[in-house]
Amino acid sequence: MSSIGWVVLSAIGYWLSGVQYPRSQHGTVTQRIQGTEVAITYNRPVARGRELFGSLVPWGRRWHPGADSATTIAFSKDVTIDGHALAAGRYTLWTIPEAPPKPWTVIFNKGVGVWHTNYPGETQDALRITVAPETGPHMETLTYYFPLVDADSAMLKLQWGTVIVPMKIKVTE
């Protein structure tokens, strides 16, 4: 068989296999802060022209900032988040978005390995903080990033659409 025949057969085999990839692609972000590893693992929903907050994501209701399996954040050592202590470990992230100018609630929950719609419950909450959201340029795909890293702290930002949720992570040792 010619090489063109193999290419055609391979393409047909791939097409028939039904392999499909999710629209919300997997992402990871890691940052070292003074010997402390911070790792975020999440699936990245895309806005695709939709109205996000107050519509797709209702105000005043718990929302998981990600898609598919719940977003996790892990700390190799104890930290503070906006001045509140959080023990080393792995957590799922949840929020309660509020209409401006109200602050949002950000929840670090000990229930891991769950789907993004299955909140493990308040009894599993390790920390709840209130955060004043900011406004910025449109971000089409949900993103977590560290725009500022210092010797013992870093600013973590969650951004989707024009909404930015900043959280200061500080190493405690």
DSSP states of 93-159:
EEEE---TTSPEEEEEES--S-BTT----GGGEEEEEEE--EEEEEEEEEEEEEEEE-SSEEEEEEE
Lowest mean pLDDT among 12-16, 33-37, 91-95, 135-139: 12-16
Q: Could you read off the pLDDT of 43-83 as tens digits, one per residue?
A: 999 999 999 999 999 999 999 999 888 999 999 999 999 99
Element (DSSP H or E) covering residue 29:
strand 25-33
Taking the model in full, what pTM does it have? Answer: 0.85
pLDDT confidence of residue 15: 52
Extract long-range pairs of 48-54: CB within 8 Å, 24+ residues apart.
48/140, 52/160, 52/161, 52/163, 53/97, 53/161, 53/163, 54/99
Place of tokens 């993004």: 116
Q: Could you read off the pLDDT of 122-143 as tens digits, one per residue?
A: 999 999 999 999 999 999 999 9
* Domain parsing of the chain, residue ranges: 22-171
Q: Which percentage of the chain shows pLDDT scores above 70?
A: 84
Residue 100's DSSP bridge partners are none
Residue 81's DSSP bridge partners are 84, 169
Q: Could you read off the pLDDT of 82-118 as tens digits, one per residue?
A: 999 999 999 999 999 999 999 999 999 999 877 667 7
Q: Could you read off the pLDDT of 151-170 as tens digits, one per residue?
A: 999 999 999 999 999 999 99
pLDDT category of residue 17 using cuts at 50, 70 and 90: low
